[in-house]
């Protein structure tokens, strides 16, 4: 009897329908990781693992600085979009920690660690959305107007330039290693770049044209994208942010 049949027989009849849809996707993810890893020589895999660790450590340092600066600038200016951007940076930093954990020691060859890391990265997307959404709606209802933040403008410009490089590199090494978790972290970096564009537009619109409502709208966009990308990362789907 196959693994698929064993699992299906162990489920109650009412749950078998949902399992028929979910189980093939999970087994497919395992096969992709296994088949991709099997094509790599040990030296090549070790080299790629070191590269993935280097990317994770580098982005962790950047995200730590970016998160602190964005939150401080957001509090000073009263910008919910900047504060949300800073919290997102902290979450991405945690995603880097997860990838470092995933490729540390014996876990570098563990499919269980890969699936666990994939779920941990996905959950972090969901942490951001409720706070930013609630605060953005509150700002729209009350007519809260954020102050100009040149520090925030400079920071988001830097993120727009740097984050795509991190994202592309992590997605490539994730493809070569067969690691959906590494690709999901690269997806977070691309998300950071898109969010930086949205926050930058809100900050400039408010500064140049007095369009205060762009800031909370950028916050709502952050919440929406976080939920969408969290769901796709959880299910192991490809990112739709090309």
Query: Domains in the chain, ordered, with CATH?
Result: 1-39 (no CATH), 42-235 (1.20.1510)
State the average pLDDT for the chain. Answer: 78
**Model pLDDT for residues 175-188, shown as the tens digit of each residue:** 888 887 788 778 87
Whether the model clears a pTM of 0.85, i.e. scores above it, the answer is no
**Model pLDDT for residues 22-34, shown as the tens digit of each residue:** 545 544 544 444 4
Question: Which pLDDT does position 152 carry in this prediction?
Answer: 95
Greater model confidence, 18 or 110: 110
Tokens representing 240?
A: 């739709």
13-38 and 180-209 helices, crossing angle to 10°: 100
- Other C-beta atoms lying within 10 Å of the C-beta of residue 78: 15
Residue 68 confidence class, pLDDT cut points 50, 70, 90: very high
Greater model confidence, 213 or 240: 213
Most confident range, picked from 123-127, 159-163, 174-178, 237-241: 159-163
Q: What is the mean pLDDT of residues 165-169?
A: 94
Is residue 126 exposed (0-12), middle (13-18) or buried (19+ Cβ within 10 Å)? middle
| Dist CA 203 CA 97 (whole Å) | 30
Is residue 36 exposed (0-12), middle (13-18) or buried (19+ Cβ within 10 Å)? middle
Residue 37 confidence class, pLDDT cut points 50, 70, 90: low
Question: Which pLDDT does position 33 carry in this prediction?
Answer: 47
**Model pLDDT for residues 113-128, shown as the tens digit of each residue:** 667 766 776 777 787 7
**CB-based contacts of 145: which residues, under 8 Å, 6+ apart?**
78, 206, 212
Among candidate residues 69, 67, 38, 44, the one with its CA nearest the CA of residue 154: 69
**Model pLDDT for residues 217-237, shown as the tens digit of each residue:** 988 988 888 788 778 767 765
């Amino acid at each position: 009897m196959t693994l698929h049949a064993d699992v299906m027989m162990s489920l109650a009849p009412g749950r078998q329908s949902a399992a028929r849809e979910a189980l093939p996707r999970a087994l497919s993810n395992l096969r992709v990781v296994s088949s991709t890893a099997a094509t790599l020589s040990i030296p090549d895999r070790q080299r790629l693992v070191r590269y993935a660790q280097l990317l994770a450590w580098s982005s962790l340092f950047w995200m730590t600085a970016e998160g602190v600066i964005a939150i401080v600038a957001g509090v000073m200016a009263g910008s919910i979009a900047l504060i949300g951007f800073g919290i997102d940076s902290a979450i991405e930093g945690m995603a880097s920690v997860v990838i470092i954990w995933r490729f540390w020691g014996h876990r570098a060859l563990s499919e269980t660690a890969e699936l666990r890391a994939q779920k941990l990265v996905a959950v972090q997307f969901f942490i951001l959305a409720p706070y930013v959404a609630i605060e953005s709606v509150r700002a729209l209802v009350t007519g809260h107007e954020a102050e100009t933040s040149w520090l925030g403008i400079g920071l988001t410009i830097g993120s727009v330039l740097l984050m795509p490089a991190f994202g592309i590199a992590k997605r490539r090494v994730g493809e070569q290693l067969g690691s959906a978790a590494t690709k999901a972290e690269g997806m977070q970096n691309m998300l950071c770049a898109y969010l930086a564009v949205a926050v930058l537009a809100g900050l400039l619109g408010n500064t140049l044209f007095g369009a205060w409502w762009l800031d909370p709208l950028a916050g709502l966009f952050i919440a929406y994208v976080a939920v969408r990308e969290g769901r796709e990362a959880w299910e192991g789907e490809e990112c739709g942010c090309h």
